Structures are given as C-alpha cells and as structure tokens.
Structure 1
Amino acid sequence: MTASLAAQAEGNVTQVDMQPISIEGSHIDNTQIIPTEQMTRNLAASVADVFRDQSVITIGGGSHNAQRLYLRGIDASNLNITIDGAIQGRSLFQHHGGIGSLDPDLLKRVEVLAGPGADRGAGALGGAIRFETVDAQDLLSPDQQSGATIRAGYYTADRSDHGAATAYTRLGSHSGLMAHIKGVNREDYETGGGDRVHGSAGRDRHYFIKFSLLENEGHSLRLSAERSRNSGLYRWAAGDGAYDPDAPLEYQINDRDTYIVNYRYHALHTPLVNLSLNLFNNENTLNNQTRNNETTSTGKGFELRNNAVIDWISSTHNLVTGIDYYTEDGEIYNNGERQGHRNNLNNLGLFIQDHVYIGRLTLSGGARFDRYETDYGRIAISGNEISPNAGIEVNIGKGWSTFANYGEAVRSTGVIPIGWLASAVDTPTFNAQTGKRSFGRSFRPESSQQKEAGFRYQARGLIRDADRFDASLTYFHNDIDNLIVQIGGSRGQPVTGFYNDDRVTSKGWEARTSWQSGRYQTTLSYLHAKTVDQNGDRITTIRRVGSNTGDRLVWDHVWRIDENMTMGYTLVAQAGLEDGEIDRSGHTLHHLQAQWQPASIPALSLSLAVRNLFDRSYSEQTTIGDDGATLEPGRDIRMMARYQF
C-alpha cells in the first residue's frame, strides 16, 4: 500500500499520481523526487525498497540488518538523512546498516539532494535525503470527516505476513489526527538459486501518531511520535560480510523512537516571512539479548529557517536563512553497566542560501558556518569551518538549459560507530600512525568538495499532442578528504587512536529522461560512476565510505488502463564490473506490477507485484564480499489487499 495512503484524498477511488523523477524547471540544486506511485506499485516493504529501482542509488547487504545505501557510490553515513526534519543518528554497531527503519506506508514525499547547498544540514558530504510523512488531511477526501484503512499482504520470497491499520479524522476545519500500526513477520528469504539465507528472518513493528494543524491564518503545526522496532536472530560479527550458512545467530532488537514538532508561519500579506521551526528527539537502541549488551544513541536538535521572496530591480530572490543545532550522546552497556566512555558530539550551524532569477539566468550562492565539538575518549576536538557554494543555470532557449554548481561541506564525526568510540582509551593518538600521509598533521574534520555540470531539456507536444518530455544529463565530481578512521577496536580490543585517511573521490555522470502521454508514462535513467582512491584506483566496498558498481540502467513503465486498473513494468540492468581487485558479475532484473479496484466494491483494492520475475540468482555489487557475498532474494510475488472505510 505504501505511499498510496496519500492518494486516498480523492475519496474511495485509488488514484495513481504519475510522478516523474523531478528533472524539470530551474532546479539549480538538482533535487530528485522519488515517485511515490512507484513505491506503491512495488509494494515497498522497507526503506531499502523505496530506492531499489533508482539508478543513482544502490542498496547492498542482502539481509535486513545489513542493508546499506550508496548514493553515487557514497555510503549513506556521509549523507544528512532526515525524517520530517529529524536527523537520523550514527551507526550503533559496526555491522549494522544505517538506512533507517521507517515504514514506507507513511511516506508522502522523498527527496534526494545529491548536489551541494548550504541548507542541506550538517555533515552532508555527499548530499542529503529527506523523508516526509503523510498528514491526516492527505488521507481524507474534502467531504470526509473520518476514515480508516486496513491492509493485509503476503510476500513469497521470505514467506512474510504483512498487516496494517490506519485511522484518521478531522478535528475542526483545520486540524487532523492519524494513528498507524503495522506488523511484518518474515522468515529466511529464498535466493534465486533456491537456497535460504540463514539469519535473514525477523519481525518489524511500526507505531505512529500525528496531529496536524494546517494553514490556519498562515500557521501550521505538526506533532508526531513514532516507534519502529526490528527484532530477530541475526549474525553479530561480519553481518554484511561474506555469507556463512553456519554462522551463529544472536537475538537482537533494534528500536527507534522519534518525537517531532514542526511549526510554520507563512505571512499572508508579505512574501518576506515564511518561517519554519523544527524540534526533534531521536533515540536508537540496539539490544543484543544473547550477549546482554545494549548500544544507545540519543540525538536532539532544532532548525529555524526563513524563506523570503524578494523582488529587487529586475530580479527575484529566493533567500533562505537559518540556524540549526544537533547534539548526540552514545553509550554502551554490558550486563546493565555502562562500559567505556559516554561520547558526545554537537554541531551548531548558520546558513544562508540565495537563488536569484534574472530573466533566463538563475544564480545560486550561499555559505554555511559550522561550530563543532566531538569526544574522542576523554579528549574533545572542536573547531569552526565555513563551507561556501555557488551555481549558475542559463535558459538557452527552445527548452534547453545548462547549469554548473560547486559546493563544500564538513563533518567532525559520525562515521565511526558508537561501539568503537565508546571503547576508546582515555587519551587516544591523532594522526600518529606511520605510513599515512596524515602522519604528524593536525587532526581535521572530514570535508567534501562537490562539482556538478550538465544540461536539461523540456518539451511539450514532442511526439503527440499534449505529451510531456523531460531530460537531463549531469556530470559530477565529489572529493571527500580527511576521512576519520580509528586504530584498533577489532574483536573487543580498545580503540587507541584516530587518523585522517587519504582522499576518496566519486565521479561520473547520470542521465534521466521521462515521457508522459495520457495514461502512459515511462522513465529511463542511467548512472556511470567510479569511486576511487587518491591514486585513481577503484576502491572495494568500504563500510561507511563508499563502493563501486558497474553502469546501472533503470527503465520504468506505468500504464493506467482505466480508473480501476493500473499496470507497470520495470527493467533494472546492472553491468558487470572488473577493475583491478574488483570482479563482480552483472545482472538484469524484471519486475511487474498490477493494481485493481473492483468497480462493484470501490472500497477494496488489490495489488500484485512480482520482483525478480525470472528468479535470477545475484548479489548486489555494493555488498561486501566477492563470490561469497550474500545473495539477494529470488522471485518475490507480493500480494496486498486494502479496504478503506
């Protein structure tokens, strides 16, 4: 059912909102919108499923607790990831992925911001990903006071049962309240070769409640609370490494509790005031009950920004100014007693970003100031950094435009899991490891320099009357310097020091096109990316840093046959990769989707998705390991029934 929750606003008829990836307009920041209808058609069961059919993003890891996200070859640890503005914290343990546990059923909007920008938030070395959840008003038709939706589904690859219920109501003319609960029970999934992946079974539980006061004389207020839990018997050591069917399993529970306050004031009589305030508390806990240990992270913060529109002489300015603050504490407990250090990080940011529209010309410029402090053992490292950015886009006529961007970002920590930071000695060394270029240098925060350039093209009536065609071609180059790496920490040993590692670079190009005519839409995207070390050689998959894949093509089709029937087909082609020490085979996957709403029972909708139609045996190239890398699921027939009251 996923993001089709938001589609219920049109009464009892399931509307399929055909949303191409956002590549139109003067989007100098190159924001990409993940189509919610694509999540709906694929019956996305996890955050990983939200991105699986995107060329610019790959998901590696195989089993649920080891999945990792890579954007243009850069690990998600190097992104600023938020849910309704709440920053998602550091990795709790070395072998657990960090792409979150959000229920896709709740998503209204997903933005991928791969380019530079001062308003991306702290630590956005490779960009940002923003998740936005639905409001009760999104689920109610204009003349509806209250409603509810129940869902039940079954997925064959992991023999999983899915059940969910959502209730929503209006509280007066401007307010609404929604409550959501979901449960998933899965067994070990089956690969294309027919084998079961030992240690991939588990349970998911999601609880969500949200109050929303919208557009009351320019004021809006959203209050939400969420609990997401994943539990199961998983591997503890090398969870995302080479697959071992005989590895011992340990019972683990991963909880995320998030509390958010979002306030917005949009002045009705002036474009100079469009204020938003975001307050959040995000708690993550990994409890290994077999070992009786627990790793916790508590992150708190806020962001205050104003988006002013200013007309000046012959130009229009979209000026964003703001301040944000984030603090996070991490701890480890063994048998109920805290072990090692309680480590803290905090970051205060000030930012300004201006988009200036002058006829056919769009200029962008801004800067971000970060004041950071991070604990390493009993030593706190602090400092200040300024990160500028600039961009230009020129409309050259006949639907064509060209653009170029440059931007910088910094991060003081966040890449090293809490489990290792907590085990650091009181006075660790810094840049004292011989054989490294950083030897003897001052210890620096991680930093990135991003460059982008490309073209966009838009046309209407290109092939048929009233059709719509959008295309873009983007070259990118992102240098990440001073990567922070620990010394020690393996197999329970203490961390004795930290050093700045050598540069890693992600570079390449991506092409995206979308064509829509009437009830049919197709999108085609292609990514060619290389992640290389300081010598220009491709890196292998490195946790919390990056990875490499062969060229990746995704071709998606959706055809809305009539008001009651929608069908879709997606082709994912991953080229093989052989370069130096890297030798990974490619694969081609075919996915089918269908949605049907019986005319005689308009409150009922039935969905079918077949993932990996031809039962291909493969592993993602971003999964750690070569021939022994964990295989992905084989043919997965997903069935979902939804009834709306």
Structure 2
Amino acid sequence: MRHTPALPLRLLPLALIAGFAHANEPTQLETIHVKGEGLSSTHRVNIKKIEESTATDLKEVLSAEPAISFGGGNGQSQWVNIRGMGQDQIDFKVDDTYSDTQIFHHNSRFLFDPQLVKVIAVQKGTGQASAGIGATSGAIVSETVEARDLLREGQQAGFKINAGINSNRGWSRGLAAYGEAGGFDGLVAGNWVSEQDYRGGKNYRNLEGGDKVLNSGLGARGLLAKAGYRFNEDNRLELSHRQEKYYGERALREEFDFSNVLADDGQVNTANNSPRYRITTQNTTNLEFKGADLGFIDKIRSNVYRMENSREEPGQSSGTTEILTYGANLNLDSRLFERHTLKYGVNWRSQEGKPADNGSPAQNEKKKDYGVYLEGIWNLDPFTLTTGMRYDYFDLHTSGAQNASNGRFNPSLGLIYDVNDNLSFNAGLTYASRSPRLYEVALANSRNLVVQDDLKAERSRNAEIGFTYRPAEAWLLSGSYFRQTIYDVNDFTCLSGSCGGRNATYDSGVTQYSNVGTLKNHGYELNAAFRHQAWMVRAGVAYSKPKMDGEVTDNVILATPMGRTWTTGLSYQFSRPNVEIGWNGRFVQSAGWGDASRGSGNTGANRPGYGVNDIYANWKPTGKDNLNVNFAIYNLFDKTYRSHSQRTGASTLVEPGRDIRLAVNYRF
C-alpha cells in the first residue's frame, strides 16, 4: 500500500520553497498523492522553520512567497496583499477564528505573533465550498502551538526560552511552559518584541535631517494559554485564550510618514498625523474539538469562539473603540465507498462595532453571516474531481438604522489529472461571496450610513489552471495561471453633504453602502526547486494586474498594482557542525505610474522596482532541534525602498535599512 503523506504532488514544490531557506533534514522528492485537497495554491511554514529563523513577524516568515507582499514598517502599519488583492479582500484565520471588520482604515487589521504558531499557510485565489465565510481572494491561515508540538520524545513536561536582538533598534524574548499527563495537556507561552524607530536604507533622510523613520517604533506582546484533553489519539477537546497587544507612540494614520512632506507653511508635516501613544489589543477565546473515526463521520473539526479587538489612547477623551465577534464552525468529512470523500458543514459569525462614545445618535453597526456547504471529492483515478455548493447569507444593520440582507449560492468545480508519478495537471472554476464589511469602527459614529436598494454581497469567480512536474529526482517545477472577476464590489459612496474628513459628523452628510463596480485580476505563478546533496536552490515568480472597471486600481483596501515579483534562494547544509547557511533574494519590477497617496504633495508618483538580499545561518549546537542559534542580515546592501503593497508617494513608509540579527531558542 502506498504511503500517503500530508501534501499532494502539486503542492510539494510550494512546501519545498517554504523549507529551502531553513532545511536541515533531507526532503524526499517522492511521488505524493492525497485525494481531497483543494485546488488553490498553498504555501506552508511550520514551527520548525520558524525556530530556525530570526523572524519576528509574518512579513519575514512568508518572505519566500512571491505572490504575497507586506509593506509599511512594523505591526499595524503593515499592509498585506495576496496576488495584488488588498486586505479587505483576504482573510486572516487563527484556529478558525476570524473577523473581517477593521478599527481604522489606515491600519492593518491583522494582529498575530508567529512565535505562537505551529503552522502558517497562505491560500491563494477564491476558495472552494469548504473554505468558510467570505473566501473570495485568499487567506493567511494559521494554527497555534500545543504542548505535544514542543515536547521532546519521552518528555511529559518542558520549557522553552527564546531571545533575539537586531542592530536596527530592536529585541525580542519569550518563554513557554508545557506538559501532558493522563490525557490532559496544557501550555502557557509569552513573547515580547520591542522595536524602536528604525533606520531607513542608504541615504534615507527625513525632512528633519535624521535617518530614522519617525513613529515607526512599536512594542508587541503575544500571550497564549491552552488546555486540552485527549479522549484517544484521534479525539481532542481544547480551550485556549490568545492575546496580541501592540503599543507605542504612533502616527494617527499609521501607514503614512508625513515627516517626508512639507506643509503649506514650509514646516515638516508631522502635526497633520497627530502622533500619540496608542494601545491595540486582540483577545480571542476558542473552544475547539478535533475528532476522527466517529461512525459515519471520519473527521470532525468544530469550534466556538469570541474575539474582541480594541484600540485605546491613554490620556485622550475619545475612550476605547471595540469590535466584538462571535463565531462557530462545524466541519465534517465522511468517506464514501472507501474511495470518495464528502465534506459538509455550517459556519456562523456575528460582529458588532462599538465606537468610543461621542454623543452621536448613530447606532452600533452589526452584521451576521451564515453559511452551509456540501463538497464532494471523487477519486476517479487517475482523475480527482471536486464538486461543491455553498450558500451564504448576511444580515446587516447600519449606524443610520437601516437594514440589508442577501443570500447567494456559490458552486465550485475542480479537476486534477495525475498523468503519471511525475506529472500532474489541475483546473478549477470557483465562486465565492463576501458580505459588505462594516464601516471602520473608529469613525462609524460620525457617519450616517444607509444602504442602496438591493445591496448585494460581492461575488468572486476564479478560473485557474496549473501543473506540477518532476523531470528528475532532484527537480520540481510548478506553475498556475488564473483569471478572477469580482462582481458587485462593495464600497462607500457619499450621497449628500460632507461624508469624510476630520470634521465630518453624523449630521454633516449621508454615506451609502454601495455596489460600485467590477474588479478583474489575472496573473500567473511559476516555481522551481532543485536539491543536490547538501545544496538547495529555489526560484519563483508571480505576476498579477488587478483592474477596477477597466482601470488599474491603486487601493490598498481593494487591490494594488504589484510589480512582477521574483524570489530566489540558495542554501548549503553542513553535517558537522550542524550548520546551514543561505541567501534569499526578493526582486520586484517597476509597477509604473499611479495616484499619489495622501500628503505626498503631488497627484501622481512612480512605483519603482527594487531588489533586497538577505543572508542567514542556522546552527544546532546539540545536533538536534532543541537548540537553535540563528544569525541573519536583512537588507544586506542597505537598500532604500518602498513595498508595492503600500500606497504610492513620498508619504509612504520606507522599509527598514540593513538589520543584523542574532536569535537563540532552546527547548529543555
């Protein structure tokens, strides 16, 4: 009987790309088939790879993936896109908990500490029926660590410590305690990161004459407590609480650096961005059950969760802004005739925005999402056929006391053809819908929000073809081409009066939830991987070009024009001592001319290309995974550049200059 590992052949190159940067064990390039995997391209990074790196945020963890881009300094100022699609078109899921509402449109809505996870995956493109609520344009999906992931063989209790320092004004440290006995297990972990205002690249100067990027400093704390009980090896109940906290003196609009722009009086424009001390916190409590072999149900994964996002500014009169989310998911798999798989389930989510009280007559905005799905994975060897149907329904209540609701059926169809053990083709046509997002909560009580007649959820259609090919034992090649169309794109339009700006009030204008047009995107990805003895080489390229109603869009919320992106890597593994050294490169071609961002002082700006090189080393003094000493130099040549996932113009944050890092983690 053929062994069936965790990844099918068509996904193996992406897993290798994730691991090439830090690969201490031989990767077997064997034929791999798993029936029931989705068609969307997936990139995974596990806890082992994170421990073998100096990464302190997701931008560093996922830097090898050409189709995903981060930009904008540290923490909340970082904007992310997948295949050029902006942050309101993609999802961020941790242990199947997620929200699509943001506090303020100048901030990223994703808070997560990678030191608390055991696996991070990037799912690209429109999701199939089982992908969950709002799976229109991809997702970053992660699962937090549990005691068994850290315990060494034969251990019942253990501890982990980690610490790091970087030359561009930062440090990190963390600790964890964990154990299991009699079916019970538990873990408590904490991680702290401190980043002062970082230095830009070579020749960077702000208009005050310094080389620091002002208001880029940030403190971060991640905490995780988890308790579980295993009824047997296949069935486990788990209760967890996770907290991410960011704090520091930050610009009001954290994505902008107005210290690069002069005001009308010729002075540096920092006052327009109102720097102040701010605390942003995310608390998530999750009760989860994972099971298998329960009669007709072969697999079950279910959870109920509560998530609270808040922003406060100590000493300010505005109070605390909150987003409260409740959700539940029930996902089931059943085997049919020992060959096929039936996936089915229910998803529910309720969200409420709670702005700081300012005496406004606005109501708190609320939204409920409901979804049910049925998906079949049909093993017709050498073909695998995937068929699915999903129904999603939303119910929206606005600050202006208006309601809207709408439901959609979304089909999905996929086909995989395993020509032989070395060649696989796949194709898919997938639909998904995303309900209108709530207005940014920090401003919702100063907006009279109404809905257009017959407001609809966005609907994405994605057609994709791809291949995976192994021409020789040491080689793996993969590629895909996609065309995506999103109909009835949701946005906000001003019906009357003054709807935006710092002086807008509930009574100054009327803002409408609207379907504003059609967003189209197309592109491709190619990846190559090669291994020979201790040498490993990889290369990848991704291209996308989103357009809104025929015009190239430059909106970090919806979509952003990205230059063609190349990623490369080369590594060598020594056996004695157990040391790996390597180089990673990321090269982005020009994205051309675009509208300049706010405060840039002009109406348009070029989005130039750039190239960034990193080198690293991982040393295991004990020869095992329990102790890692990591060294890296990010931005080796001290390049001054701006990521394309940010807005265009002089007010956009530059990325950090050269950064020399040393980090250690030890499990004992």
So what's the TM-score if we normalise by structure 2? 0.85
Is 1:565 matched with 2:540?
no
- Note the alpha carbon deviations across 1:142-194, whole angstroms, 9 max, x for none: 2112111112211112x11211111111222x332111112122210111135
Is 1:71 matched with 2:82?
yes
Asked if structure 2 preserves the Cα contact closer than 8 Å seen for 1:393 and 1:402, the reply is yes
**What residue number does 1:437 align with?**
none
Q: Gaps (5+ residues) in structure 1?
A: 1-13, 432-440
Asked if structure 1 preserves the Cα contact closer than 8 Å seen for 2:129 and 2:412, the reply is yes
Q: 1:112 aligns with which of 122, 141, 163?
A: 122
Alignment of 1:593-608 (within 5 A): 593-599=616-622, 604-608=627-631
- For 1:23 and 1:225, how far apart are their aligned partners in 2? 39
- Note the alpha carbon deviations across 1:87-122, whole angstroms, 9 max, x for none: 134110121112x22211122111222233011111
- For 1:344 and 1:101, how far apart are their aligned partners in 2? 22
Asked if structure 2 preserves the Cα contact closer than 8 Å seen for 1:62 and 1:240, the reply is no
- For 2:384 and 2:623, how far apart are their aligned partners in 1? 52
- Note the alpha carbon deviations across 1:289-337, whole angstroms, 9 max, x for none: 353322100101110121112127xxx21211000100011111147x7
Aligned length: 605
Alignment of 1:533-572 (within 5 A): 533-535=548-550, 537-540=551-554, 542-562=555-575, 564-572=578-586
Is 1:256 matched with 2:282?
yes
Asked if structure 1 preserves the Cα contact closer than 8 Å seen for 2:606 and 2:648, the reply is no
Shift of residue 394, structure 1, vs aligned partner: 1.5
**What residue number does 1:393 align with?**
416
**What residue number does 1:182 align with?**
191
- For 2:200 and 2:408, how far apart are their aligned partners in 1? 47
Shift of residue 571, structure 1, vs aligned partner: 1.0
**What residue number does 1:237 align with?**
253
- For 1:139 and 1:170, how far apart are their aligned partners in 2? 11
Alignment of 1:137-286 (within 5 A): 137-157=148-168, 159-172=169-182, 174-193=183-202, 194=204, 195-214=211-230, 216=232, 218-237=234-253, 239-240=255-256, 244=260, 246-247=269-270, 248-267=274-293, 272-286=297-311
Q: Gaps (5+ residues) in structure 2?
A: 1-21, 205-210, 261-267, 596-604
- Note the alpha carbon deviations across 1:582-633, whole angstroms, 9 max, x for none: 6211111111111123349996532111110111111112211324421100
Shift of residue 228, structure 1, vs aligned partner: 1.1
Is 1:624 matched with 2:630?
no
Asked if structure 2 preserves the Cα contact closer than 8 Å seen for 1:150 and 1:642, the reply is yes
**What residue number does 1:133 align with?**
144
**What residue number does 2:430 align with?**
407
- For 1:637 and 1:97, how far apart are their aligned partners in 2? 26
- Note the alpha carbon deviations across 1:474-497, whole angstroms, 9 max, x for none: 111111222222222322414612
**What residue number does 1:32 align with?**
42
Secondary structure at the residue paired with 2:362?
strand
Asked if structure 1 preserves the Cα contact closer than 8 Å seen for 2:255 and 2:653, the reply is no
- For 2:28 and 2:88, how far apart are their aligned partners in 1? 27
**What residue number does 1:532 align with?**
547
Alignment of 1:440-519 (within 5 A): 442-459=454-471, 462=472, 467-486=473-492, 487=494, 488-493=499-504, 494=506, 496-498=510-512, 499-519=514-534
Q: Which has the higher strand share?
A: 1
**What residue number does 2:385 align with?**
363
- For 1:75 and 1:139, how far apart are their aligned partners in 2? 35
Distance 1:279 1:595, change over 3 A: same
Distance 1:119 1:618, change over 3 A: same
Task: In structure 2, give the amino acid aligned to 1:212.
Answer: G
Secondary structure at the residue paired with 1:48?
helix
Is 1:85 matched with 2:96?
yes
Secondary structure at the residue paired with 1:419?
helix
Q: 2:656 aligns with which of 607, 615, 633?
A: 633
Is 1:48 matched with 2:59?
yes
Asked if structure 2 preserves the Cα contact closer than 8 Å seen for 1:330 and 1:422, the reply is no
Greater Cα offset, 196-205 or 42-51 = 42-51
- Note the alpha carbon deviations across 1:317-368, whole angstroms, 9 max, x for none: 1211000100011111147x78732111101110111111111111111011
Is 1:523 matched with 2:535?
no
- For 2:637 and 2:103, how far apart are their aligned partners in 1? 37
Distance 1:566 1:276, change over 3 A: same
Q: 2:348 aligns with which of 294, 316, 325?
A: 325
Distance 1:255 1:570, change over 3 A: same
Greater Cα offset, 49-58 or 488-497 = 488-497
So what's the TM-score if we normalise by structure 1? 0.88
- For 2:662 and 2:381, how far apart are their aligned partners in 1? 51
Task: In structure 1, give the amino acid aligned to 2:178.
Answer: Y
